[in-house]
Amino acid sequence: MLAKKCGVKTGETIYAAKKKCPGLNVYLGCEYKIYREYSDKLYNLLLEYTDKIERYSIDECFMDMTNYLMSDTLINKANEINRRVKEELGFTVNIGVAHNKLLAKMASDFTKPDKVHTLFENEIENKMWKLPVSELFMLGRKSVPKLENMHIKTIGDLAKYDKEKLMKVFGKHGIIMWEYANRN
């Protein structure tokens, strides 16, 4: 947990982690077989809710919960899944509830651990736009300093920025960034 306070991210190289946290001296390996086993257990639990599941990575999935269109029902189901994972599988998950994958991913990363967050269209400006631009999903490490040099510090700044100017600096990726910031 101390390494996280220094800004070390999961999956970062030891070299990069030691630059951020020079006193780092405990390295924990990964038991991939066990990780895969629990990933599969989670996936099977999620299949009880829908068969429309897209595995994004070993520890992330997107679920199409169209069957539960009422927002309060979606939130109730998300809280139920969160509780069941903890009780039945013995670990915690963050869940993002939204109408598309980008917003669901953004919501799931708001605060951790063991949280359920929403990011509906009417919440984008209040919840997402105030975040640092570096928090925008799929934004590369090289793009952030360029954006900050353009006085784009928050996702809201990016959302309000001139799309054509972004395209001149970043090409097609500038349009994609702008669209992600304005996702609704």
Does 58 lie in the same domain as 4?
Answer: no
Domain limits at 15? 1-30
CATH number at residue 154: 1.10.150.20
- Reply yes or no: is the peptide bond before residue 113 cis, omega within 30 of 0: yes
> Cα–Cα distances in Å, from 134 out to 12, 49, 61, 76, 154?
16, 33, 22, 30, 8
The letter for the amino acid at 95 is I
Please identify every residue annotated as catalytic: 60
- Domain stops at, among 106, 126, 146: 126
* Cβ-contact 8, 17 below 8 angstroms: yes
Does 103 lie in the same domain as 57?
Answer: yes
- What is the domain count for the chain? 3
Does 82 lie in the same domain as 13?
Answer: no
pLDDT tens for the chain, 184 residues long, are 577 787 887 777 778 888 888 887 776 777 889 989 999 999 999 999 999 999 999 999 999 998 777 767 889 999 999 999 999 999 999 999 999 999 999 999 999 899 999 999 999 999 999 999 999 988 888 899 999 999 999 999 999 999 999 999 999 999 999 999 998 6
125: left (phi over 0), alpha (psi -120 to 50) or beta: alpha
